[in-house]
């Protein structure tokens, strides 16, 4: 009996030994992908990963973000698209796939930036200079992503006095643990920290990618939204005074000739590698989904004199199916400025006027814009008062940044920071539907989604 047992066991053990030495038999990695450990070895690998993050941001800002922000504002007409209608009606359901796709696009960009940061030490040939720059770019992308998310998915800065109201998830690491919904204050603190980092680490010139000027311009925009006019004015001033950017002759900042104004833009590299499709698709069709609000158009009294308004086209004029579309996006592809010089002039003018400082600089900012915008410009007097400047800058801003996704945030800033009682289509600036809704998968025990039911 013993002999049998030993004989049997020997055979079995032999097979086991054979197998255990062949652990590879159960290692079958996916053939068409690279294992993370094998993929990131050099600076070039990191650079390519970072490019993947920019790519996501490009898809976010190539018209997608701007379309949704415009839909929330009073600039556009009721669209013929169900998801868009919910945005327009300020009642976005958590099943709205467009809002969901936008949200995931944003955070995918942030994730990829975080991924680069996590793996930065995997590149063995990384120089200190590149390391600093890459970390600066990560910070910039993350700040841009979080800033966009908090503006679109949360009530604005200033909605509560201490900004303790619900903000967004602040994602700064790679992992699968669901994050909690941070307050708006925490979100803005994180954005500012990232931007300070980016300002310190980024170079002044970076081949189309983020620079320290882009970070400063974004900081100006963030501070402006927060009502921190001192920082906003300073930052805009620094960017303008860098002398690296000049106001273009054209009123269309999307035109190829306007690139001298672009501080940070999404690059369309060619007709087969273009990132302006979302703009073209939504705004430039024969009968576009996004059309201008007719009442807003009717409120402009100076159309003939305003080169910017002349980019608008009234189709089927007088007929029942009349609509107004912009011709701004009629080229096959173009770069999309996310931060540009006109924006800086507008921020500086308003920030200085709010603080009552350097009013002559603010006046000049406005007059530069007006000189370009009008056939016969009506310039501000050199001794314009702060209040005159404020009125002028807000009027110009509305037209200058039309279809750039600015208006909704402007309404919210004026409501939350300046205490104005503003409405969009009868909905107050702070009503519960005046934001996008999170996809339902965001909801966890530590993450409340936005209230449902829309604005009353």
Partner 1 sequence: MQINYHTIRNLCLSLLGLGIVFPLEAQNKSDSAQVPEDVERVGDVVIIGYGSQNRRNVVGSISTVNGKEITELPTQSFEASLQGKASGVQVIVGSGMAGSASLIRIRGAASISAAGDPLYVIDGIPITQDYFLNRSNGYNYGGGFANNPLASINPEDIENIEILKDAAATSIYGSRGANGVILITTKRAKKNGLKFDVSTRFGIGVPTKRPDMLSGDEWLQLYEEAWYNDGNVGKPDLGAIGIRLDWDDVQGVNTDWIDQMIGVGTKQNYSVGTNYKNNWIAVKDILTYDNNGSYIKGNSYERLSHRLNADIRPMKDLNIQLSHSLSRGTNNRVDAAWAGGLGSAMSTMLNIYPLDPVYDSTSNSYLSPLGLHTIRDLKNWRSIEVRTINNASASYRVNEELSLNASASMDYMDYNEYLYEPSELITYYAPTYAQNGNAKWWPRWTRNYNYFVTADWNKKLSDQHSISLMLGNEYQNSYSESKYVENFDALGPIDESPIPDTALVSRYNTPYEWAFLSFFGRFNYNYGGKLNVQLTSRWDGSSRFGSNNRYGFFPAAAVGYILSEEDFIKNIRSISFLKVRAGIGRSGNANFDNYARWGTITPSGNLPLYNGQPMLAPARLENPNLRWESTTNFDAGIEAQLFRGRISTELTYYSKHTKDVIMNVSIPTHIGFGSFYDNVGTIENQGLEFSLKTVNVRTREFKWSSNLNIARNWNAITSIGVYQPDAISGGTNDTRVVVGEPVGTNFLVRYAGVDKQTGAPMYYDIDGNVTSQWDPSNRVAVGNILPDAFGNFSNTFSYKNWEVSANIYYNIGGNIYESSWKRQMSLVTDWNMDRRVLNRWQKPGDESLIPKMTLNTFNHGSTTPWINTDLWLHDGTYVRLRNVSFSYRIPKKMLERWKFESAKITFVATNLLTWTNYTGVDPEIARDFENPTDRNMSGSITYLTPPQEKSFSLAINLSF
Q: Which of residues 51-90 bind partner 1 (CB under 8 A)?
A: 51-52, 54-55, 58, 82, 85-86, 89
Q: How far apart are CA 358 and CA 155, in angstroms?
A: 32
Radius of gyration of the CA atoms of the chain, in A = 26
To partner 1, the closest distance from the beta carbon of 94 in angstroms equals 6
Residue from 21, 29, 299, 318 that binds partner 1 (CB under 8 A)?
29
120 binds partner 1 (CB under 8 A): no
Residue 54: closest CA among 313, 336, 430: 336
Provide, rounded to whole angstroms, the least separation between the CB of residue 103 and partner 1.
5
Cβ neighbours for 277, distance < 8 A, ≥ 6 positions apart: 62, 63, 333
Contact 424, 70 (CB under 8 A): no
Residue 81 C-beta: closest distance to partner 1, Å: 12
| Sites for partner 1 among residues 275-314 (CB under 8 A) | 275
Quote the least distance from Cβ 33 to partner 1, whole Å. 4
442 binds partner 1 (CB under 8 A): yes
Q: How far is the CB of 373 from partner 1 (least distance, A)?
A: 31
Binding to partner 1 in span 147-176, by CB under 8 A:
168-169, 171, 174-176
Among 61, 64, 65, 103, binds partner 1 (CB under 8 A): 103
Using CB under 8 A, pick the residue from 64, 115, 213, 283 that binds partner 1.
115
- Count the site residues for partner 1 by CB under 8 A: 83
Distance CA 257, CA 71 (A): 28
Single out the residue of 339, 136, 117 nearest to residue 236, CA to CA: 339
How far apart, in whole angstroms, are the C-alpha atoms of residue 242 and residue 392?
25
Q: Does 40 bind partner 1 (CB under 8 A)?
A: yes
For the CB of residue 291, give the shortest distance to partner 1 in the complex, in Å: 20
Query: Interface with partner 1 includes 42 (CB under 8 A)?
Result: no
Residue by residue, DSSP assigns 311-366 as GEEEESTTSTT-EEEE-TT-SS---EEEEEHHHHHHHHHHHHHHHT--HHHHHHHH
Residue 108 engages partner 1 in binding (rule: CB under 8 A): yes
CB of 428 to partner 1, least distance (A): 19
Shortest distance, position 27 Cβ to partner 1, whole Å: 6
In the complex with partner 1, which residue's Cβ is closer, 27 or 162?
A: 27
DSSP 84-112: HHHHHTT---TT-HHHHHHHHHHHHHHHH
Separation CA 421–CA 411 (nearest Å): 9
Using rule CB under 8 A, residue 229 touches partner 1: no
| Cβ neighbours of 267 (radius 10 Å) | 19
Which CB, 40 or 217, lies closer to partner 1? 40
Applying the rule CB under 8 A, the residues between 251 and 280 that interact with partner 1 are: 267, 269, 273, 275
């Amino acid at each position: 009996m013993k002999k049998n047992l030993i004989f049997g066991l020997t055979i079995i053990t032999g097979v086991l030994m054979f197998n255990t030495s062949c652990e590879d038999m159960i290692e079958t990695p996916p053939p068409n992908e690279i294992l993370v450990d094998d993929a990131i070895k050099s600076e070039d690998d990191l650079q390519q990963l970072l490019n993947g993050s920019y790519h996501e941001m490009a898809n976010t800002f190539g018209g997608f973000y701007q379309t949704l922000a415009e839909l929330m504002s009073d600039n556009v007409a009721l669209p013929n698209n169900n998801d868009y209608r919910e945005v327009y009606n300020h009642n976005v359901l958590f099943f709205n796939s467009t809002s969901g796709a936008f949200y995931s696009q944003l955070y995918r960009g942030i994730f990829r930036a975080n991924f680069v940061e996590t793996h930065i030490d995997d590149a063995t040939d990384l120089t200190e200079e590149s390391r600093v720059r890459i970390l600066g770019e990560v910070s910039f992308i993350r700040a841009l992503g979080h800033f966009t998310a908090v503006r679109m998915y949360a009530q604005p800065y200033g909605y509560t006095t201490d900004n303790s109201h619900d903000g967004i998830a602040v994602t700064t690491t790679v992992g699968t643990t669901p994050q909690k919904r941070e307050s708006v204050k925490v979100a803005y603190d994180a954005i500012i920290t990232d931007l300070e980092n980016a300002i310190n680490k980024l170079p002044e010139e970076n081949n189309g990618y983020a620079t320290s000027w882009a970070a400063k311009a974004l900081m100006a925009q963030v501070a402006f939204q927060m009502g921190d006019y001192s920082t906003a004015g300073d930052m805009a001033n620094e960017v303008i005074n860098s002398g690296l950017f000049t106001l273009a002759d054209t009123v269309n900042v999307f035109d190829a000739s306007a690139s001298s104004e672009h501080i940070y833009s999404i690059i369309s590299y060619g007709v087969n590698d273009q990132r302006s499709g979302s703009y073209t698709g939504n705004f430039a069709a024969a009968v576009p989904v996004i059309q201008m609000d007719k009442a807003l158009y009717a409120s402009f009294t100076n159309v003939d004199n305003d080169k910017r308004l002349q980019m608008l086209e009234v189709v089927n004029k007088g007929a029942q199916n009349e609509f107004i579309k912009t011709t701004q996006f009629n080229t096959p592809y173009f770069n999309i400025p996310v931060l540009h010089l006109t924006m800086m002039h507008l921020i500086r003018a308003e920030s200085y006027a709010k603080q009552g400082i350097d009013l002559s600089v603010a006046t000049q900012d406005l007059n530069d814009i007006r000189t370009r915008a009008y056939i016969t410009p009506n310039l501000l007097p050199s001794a314009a008062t702060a209040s005159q400047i404020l009125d002028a800058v807000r009027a110009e801003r509305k037209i200058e940044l039309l279809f750039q996704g600015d208006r909704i945030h402007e309404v919210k800033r004026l409501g939350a920071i300046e205490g104005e009682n503003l409405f969009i289509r009868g909905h107050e600036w702070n009503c519960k539907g005046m934001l996008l809704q999170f996809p339902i998968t965001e909801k966890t025990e530590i993450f409340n989604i936005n209230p449902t039911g829309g604005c009353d």
